[in-house]
Amino acid sequence: MFENMSFLSLLEKGGIVVFILILCSIISLAVFLERLKTFYGVRAKLLEEVKTKVRNLVMSAKISEAITYCDNFRVKFLFFSVPCPLNNVYKAILFSHKKSSEELSEIALRAVDKEMVGLEKYLGIIGTIGNIALYIGLVGTVIGIMHAFKSMSIESAVGPSVVAGGIAEALINTIAGLIVAIGSVIFYNAFTRQIKRLLVTFEDSAAEIIELVKK
């Protein structure tokens, strides 16, 4: 059925639904790449480097230098200069280092929550695409089957060639919907799992710095 068809011919055979799915896949990929840039600033090796530097400065009572380091820290990712979100948590604590431990804990908690929200930015888009792409493909499948039955009702002689176009449209939409849905769900789950791990890391790092500044 598909052996003599080019890729563009397959897309055309899938109809408007396939192009909607292509748009969804482009949006999903764009969000993935944008989030990949942001998450480059929270790699385990980078976080350890930041934690070690800030910890050493705080232990040496160089609070202002630690704040300056957090302000200026950037890492290169392709053409972008990416900050480390953990530094914003450190800055919130260090700016208020003269307050009580309880107050610092509350400040740190709010700062961590803010950074987690920042890391979750746009993830709802790929999560939504992952949920609806399969149903969009299913709509295309139903449309293809309807076209196949329509062809059967028009043609006097019913054979494989009569329904081939509608069946091809149905299968292409099904496959496209599955590909877009699976890819988007994989992206979404990968990022959300990392955010859960980062939440623990940020909270532990904040608690450590609070303990150091109050010594």
Q: Are 171 and 147 in contact (CB under 8 A)?
A: no
Which of 24, 35, 37, 91 is CA-nearest to residue 64? 91
Which of 91, 74, 87, 90 is CA-nearest to residue 40? 74
What percent of the chain is modeled with pLDDT above 70? 85
Please check the confidence at residue 99 and state whether its pLDDT lies above 80: yes
80: enclosing H helix or E strand: strand 80-82
Q: Return the domain boundaries, the chain.
A: 7-213
User: Which one has a higher pLDDT value, 152 or 210?
Assistant: 210
Burial of 78 (0-12, 13-18, 19+ CB in 10 A): exposed
Q: Which of 3-7, 144-148, 190-194 is predicted least confidently? A: 3-7
Residue type, 35: R
Which of 180, 188, 189, 186 is CA-nearest to residue 126? 188
> What are the tokens at 99?
């307050």
Please check the confidence at residue 164 and state whether its pLDDT lies above 50: yes
- Residue found by looking up tokens 């530094």 in the block: 87
User: Which one has a higher pLDDT value, 145 or 84?
Assistant: 84
